[in-house]
């Protein structure tokens, strides 16, 4: 079975997250879940303008919830042909769809749009300059659904990761998208910067799922 983030954390008995940084926030489908679970602040990043507009409207209704229209990768200022999916943009990615076209043949990618990248660390710096320091200090959960681009996002978030305790993200195996990074690369990278894999689940067919990484010190692990 799949697993859900907040019931899993409650069962582990670890501290509840205070704030969330969500990359690939889409229309803000999870916002109410974050509110219901007591999160006091959030930064929600979405690259596509149509879902971002709805996301921003939702964030305006919750104190300390901030919407950002940006494409996050590992570098600033790089131009990407972003592949836009026709399922309300949910499967859109900087990566070119590969097996996704067969496994999810109901989803097509008939449009691309040119987007210029930034990084998580750059967004955090800009928000700090705009006076959102108190909200930023609450962010201890990184929540990502970026269709195979999550590893690049992690590489652009080195400074921000120092305050993160939980990483909950979509993961893939196989080759749903070209250039997709193997799952074990995520595990090795995050292990090296202080996290341990706590849960993972892959769907079949499809070979996508969710993974939860937790800061080792919260679990009493020293290495």
Which has the closest alpha carbon to 24: 56, 71, 85? 71
Residue 141 confidence class, pLDDT cut points 50, 70, 90: very high
Output the pTM of the full model: 0.96
pLDDT for position 206:
81
Please give the CATH number for the structural domain made up of 5-217: 3.40.50.150
Residue 2 confidence class, pLDDT cut points 50, 70, 90: low
Backbone phi and psi for residue 113, each to the nearest 5 degrees, phi listed first? -140, 145
HSE value, Cβ hemisphere, 13 Å, CA-based, for 209? 17
pLDDT for position 22:
98
**What CA–CA distance (Å, rounded) separates 64 from 44?**
11
pLDDT 10s digits, 40-55: 999 999 999 999 999 9
Q: Residue 7 burial (CB < 10 Å; 0-12/13-18/19+)?
A: exposed
DSSP at 15: P
């Amino acid at each position: 079975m799949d697993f859900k983030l907040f019931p899993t954390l409650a069962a582990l008995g670890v501290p509840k997250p205070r704030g969330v940084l969500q990359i690939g926030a889409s229309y803000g489908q999870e916002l109410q879940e974050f509110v219901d679970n007591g999160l006091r602040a959030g930064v929600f990043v979405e690259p596509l303008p149509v879902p971002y507009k709805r996301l921003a409207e939702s964030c305006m209704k919750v104190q300390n919830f901030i919407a950002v229209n940006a494409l996050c990768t590992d570098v600033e200022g790089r131009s990407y042909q972003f592949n836009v999916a026709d399922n309300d943009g949910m499967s859109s990615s900087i990566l070119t769809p590969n097996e996704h076209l067969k496994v999810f043949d109901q989803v097509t990618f008939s449009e691309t749009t040119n987007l210029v990248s930034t990084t998580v660390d750059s967004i955090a710096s800009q928000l700090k300059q705009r006076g959102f320091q108190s909200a930023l200090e609450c962010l201890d959960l990184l929540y990502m659904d970026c269709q195979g681009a999550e590893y690049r996002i992690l590489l652009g978030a080195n400074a921000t990761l120092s305050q993160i305790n939980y990483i909950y993200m979509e993961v893939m195996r196989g080759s749903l998208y070209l250039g997709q990074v193997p799952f074990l690369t995520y595990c090795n990278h995050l292990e090296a910067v202080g996290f341990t894999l706590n849960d993972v689940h892959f769907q079949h067919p499809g070979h996508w799922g969710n993974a939860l990484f937790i800061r080792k010190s919260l679990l009493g692990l020293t290495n």
